[in-house]
Amino acid sequence: MTAMSAVPVKKAPALYLVEFGVCMTLYVAAILLREWLYDPNASRTLRVAVIAMPVVPVWLAFLAVVRHYRRIDELSKVILLKNIAVAAGFMACLVTSYALLVDAGLPTLSITWAWPTLAACWAATTAINEWRAR
Amino acid sequence: MKNLLRQLRNERGLTQADLADRLNVSRQTVNAIETERYDPSLPLAFAIARVFGLKIEEIFTADA
């Protein structure tokens, strides 16, 4: 009716924390492991596979968010989507502003900062909206 | 949209958590509906009516 999952809505936050936590743990482990496993003398295929190891937990984390969305109730879905939409808009402005400032001499940033920046914006909008709704 | 959710819930001795469990929604959603900060979807409104054994229009009324 409201959620699209057989899991009771009240179990959704705990399940999400577990699933997302596992993904982040695997991500950190993959980041550390690839430094240890990387062999510059190995075949190109093996080198790429080792370097790309963190990609799998990143996609698993995305799936964890999707599964969480399917478990939560209608109001929680609205709140989640509103928060991420505002975060994405804020981040778009932030990225554009910084890109323009790079022309003024600011250092260019690696694209690996994209997701942490969006995550920080998402966390901030969620926290601000929760505070406003109290 | 105005509603009698809090009154009906109290008459039946239910907490917000009890009602949330019966509707499979969060307690936050029940609170938001009771304080008229959120209007439920049609499926949720039907589920609420079923829980209380009433018609939707006996629970929810449009703002004047």
Reported as a single tens digit per residue, the pLDDT across A83-121 is: 999 999 999 999 999 999 998 999 998 888 888 888 899
Phi-psi domain of B53 (left: phi exceeds 0; alpha: psi -120 through 50; beta: other): left
What is the pLDDT at residue A2?
47
Task: Report the mean per-residue pLDDT for chain B.
Answer: 94
CB atoms within 10 A of CB A131: 8
Q: Which residue has the tokens 């080198």?
A: A47
Residue A120 CA to its chain's centroid (Å): 9
pLDDT bracket for residue A63 (50, 70, 90): very high
Q: What is the pTM of this model?
A: 0.83
- The number of C-beta contacts closer than 8 angstroms across A and B is 40
Helix axes B27-34, B16-23, angle to 10 degrees: 110
B17: nearest CA partner in chain A: A10
CA distance A126 to A119: 10
% of chain A surpassing 70 pLDDT? 96
A114 vs A67, residue with greater confidence: A67
**Residue A70 sits at the chain B interface (C-beta within 8 Å):** no
Candidate from A1, A8, A76 with C-beta closest to B44? A1
ipTM of the complex: 0.87
pLDDT bracket for residue B1 (50, 70, 90): confident
Cβ contacts of residue B56 below 8 Å, gap of 6+?
B45, B46, B48, B49
A130 vs A1, residue with greater confidence: A130
pLDDT bracket for residue A132 (50, 70, 90): confident
Q: Which residue has the tokens 């991420």?
A: A84
Beta carbons of B24 and A72 less than 8 Å apart:
no
Q: Is the pLDDT of residue A4 over 60?
A: no
**Which of B 42-61 lie inside 8 A of A, CB atoms?**
43-44, 47
Q: Chain B residues with CB inside 8 Å of A2's CB?
A: 23-25, 41, 43-44, 47
